[in-house]
Structure 1
């Protein structure tokens, strides 16, 4: 799970705009304030993929 966007938001650090960052800020999901912004999470480890 890519947590770069979430951690950047928590640290009040700007997300770089010179590249594509496709992560989502998941703070509200972790706090149970909202549903996930996506239906599925894909997780890669080496050559394995989990859904």
Structure 2
């Protein structure tokens, strides 16, 4: 049950780094959304897709 948590965590860090390098507010927004989805997946226990 860690697939979605790890997927959204990697996206969070990737967009956070993109936001730092480009100073894009959209990248920071997507990073924040990905982080929230990562925590939601961990709390709700979303099942792995396979």
Q: Same fold (TM over 0.5)?
A: no
Larger radius of gyration: 1
- Provide the TM-score with structure 2 as the length reference: 0.25
Give the structure with the higher percent strand.
1
Q: Which has the higher contact order (CA 8 A, sep 6+)?
A: 2
Q: TM-score, normalised by structure 1?
A: 0.25
